[in-house]
Structure 1
Amino acid sequence: MKIAIVSVSDKGRNLALQLKEKLDLDSTIIKVDLFHKNVKKYLKIAFYEYDAVIAVMASGILIRSIAPYVESKATDPAVLNIDDNGNFVISTLSGHLGGANKLTNKIAPLIDAIPVITTSSDVNNKLGIDVLASDLYLSIDNTKEILFFNKAILEGRKLTFTLNPDAEKNYLKSYLQNNTLEMDVSFNCSENVNEDEIIVSLEGHRITLKERKLVVGIGCKRGKSSSEIYEGYKKSLEELNLDESRVNMLASAEVKKDEEGLLELAKILNKPINFVDLDRLKLFESRDIQKSEFVKSKFGIYGVCEPSALITAGFDSKLIYKKTSYNGVTISMAISK
């Protein structure tokens, strides 16, 4: 998640700086940029270029500034509002699909603030269908149906999840079992459902949830064993609360194609691995990747795990887990659009 923090007062700016220092340590936060004053200009930029906007200012200033740009829960970024004293963190816009509620609960303890969330499903201890989709990186084909399904969940009605019989979807079942919020579901199987899809239905209404391609990019020092690489792989997925079955592919650079530990891990996990050509890596440009001069001096490229993951995930993909080191192993994750 890429975050823009916009402040107005000097007090708010100091709070923004403190928050940035803490968020920069979080591997699931790709980058944090700070903007101060000139609120209308910077909020407009932040609204279109970032996944989340944290506004440290009065709510009236925030609402009037973003009002012209609000379009849809499917496309609007997460918007949070924090007062200058850091007493409250308020989930203001895109609480579910945009991740504002989740981010609110992450940020509030960092600054010893009270999280404020008002969405009906959350306050009634229910799991919204759009929260499930967001947490598991699934796209929703018909966002207009979200309201119907979330209302049904609030009323305690049972939804039917239909899966392809060859797609176990362990990550879905694990998520539903471990989630503290409530959702009553039953499972069906049908060969008419694609392996990467989940059909959710109730009384003639239906939503199709489709997996976005999730790619784990891996870099490692020469000679790392599969078990050593797996330790970093496992820890990174745990930080995202994802089951291993949610991963679609692994990726690395061409220079790692004979790395025995990496090849063995792909075989053990039963995951395809894509080794990206050095020429493609040299030409790849992204403002979000971390550049390593050491890797550049050795292989002529600025990085392995992040660009490999992004290239493999496809055009307009984005990082959901930035390069993180685990004892000589680097892990990142990218998700397709």
Structure 2
Amino acid sequence: MPAAHNASPPEPRTVWLYLAGLGCRRGCSAHELRQLLEDSLQVRGLSSADLHALASLDGKLNEPGLETLAEQLGLALHGVALERLQGYESRLTDLSEATLRATGCAGVAEASALAVAEALGAPSAELLITKQRSANATFALARTKFLPTSENA
């Protein structure tokens, strides 16, 4: 009979969720959004295939560029209420007066990425890529640990 051993089970591997936050001017194209997203991810050795979802201010969800990008990538597009985004302003790396005047929030991309990351995973999301800009769009990437529950395990 083999000897019993008291080896502890292996530590579970950390699974990260990557959430892309996007802000854009009205009429911004899916092409411009995708170029900004892909270029920003590539610098960190990531691609759109690593993303779990997209996020933006809920008032932007009807923007054709955002809708088309989500469809192209096969990702959910989560909207975040303005009041919730405002709660993240102390964690933003780049406050924008123009964005604050236009939307009521000083940073849509970073705040929406953090808000959705914390809603879908651990409550301690971090910005992995701070706000990046193109002519008409902003992008930020948050990551959080996936927390298995009885519903998603």
Q: TM-score range by the shorter chain?
A: 0.7 to 0.9
| Deviation string, structure 1 residues 49-100 (Cα, Å, up to 9, x no partner) | xxxxxxxxxxxxxxxxxxxxxxxxxxxxxxxxxxxxxxxxxxxxxxxxxxxx
Once residues 249 and 264 of structure 1 are traced to their aligned partners in structure 2, the CA distance between those partners, rounded to angstroms, is: 14
5 Å matches for 1:132-211?
A: 206=10, 208-211=12-15
Q: In 1, are the aligned partners of 2:36 and 2:139 still within 8 Å (CA)?
A: yes
2:39 aligned partner = 235
| Deviation string, structure 1 residues 137-186 (Cα, Å, up to 9, x no partner) | xxxxxxxxxxxxxxxxxxxxxxxxxxxxxxxxxxxxxxxxxxxxxxxxxx
SS at match of 2:56: strand
5 Å matches for 1:1-337?
A: 206=10, 208-314=12-118, 315-337=123-145
Once residues 41 and 85 of structure 2 are traced to their aligned partners in structure 1, the CA distance between those partners, rounded to angstroms, is: 25
CA positional deviation for 1:273: 1.2
CA positional deviation for 1:206: 4.7
CA positional deviation for 1:326: 1.7
CA positional deviation for 1:272: 0.9
CA positional deviation for 1:270: 0.3
Once residues 235 and 250 of structure 1 are traced to their aligned partners in structure 2, the CA distance between those partners, rounded to angstroms, is: 16
Once residues 109 and 88 of structure 2 are traced to their aligned partners in structure 1, the CA distance between those partners, rounded to angstroms, is: 13
Between the aligned residues of both structures, percent identity stands at 32
Higher relative contact order (CA 8 A, sep 6+): 2
CA positional deviation for 1:244: 2.1
Gaps of 5+ in 1: 1-204
SS at match of 1:213: strand
Runs (4+) off by over 6 Å: none
Q: In 2, are the aligned partners of 1:289 and 1:307 still within 8 Å (CA)?
A: no
Q: How many residues align?
A: 134
Structure 1-normalised TM-score?
0.38
Q: In 2, are the aligned partners of 1:290 and 1:303 still within 8 Å (CA)?
A: yes
Structure 2-normalised TM-score?
0.80
AA in 2 matched with 1:318? E
| Deviation string, structure 1 residues 94-139 (Cα, Å, up to 9, x no partner) | xxxxxxxxxxxxxxxxxxxxxxxxxxxxxxxxxxxxxxxxxxxxxx
Q: In 1, are the aligned partners of 2:61 and 2:77 still within 8 Å (CA)?
A: no
Q: In 2, are the aligned partners of 1:305 and 1:330 still within 8 Å (CA)?
A: yes
Once residues 266 and 210 of structure 1 are traced to their aligned partners in structure 2, the CA distance between those partners, rounded to angstroms, is: 26
CA positional deviation for 1:249: 0.9
2:4 aligned partner = none
AA in 2 matched with 1:262? L
Once residues 36 and 135 of structure 2 are traced to their aligned partners in structure 1, the CA distance between those partners, rounded to angstroms, is: 8
1:201 aligned partner = none
Gaps of 5+ in 2: 1-8, 146-153
RMSD of aligned alpha carbons: 1.8
Distance 1:279 1:217, change over 3 A: same
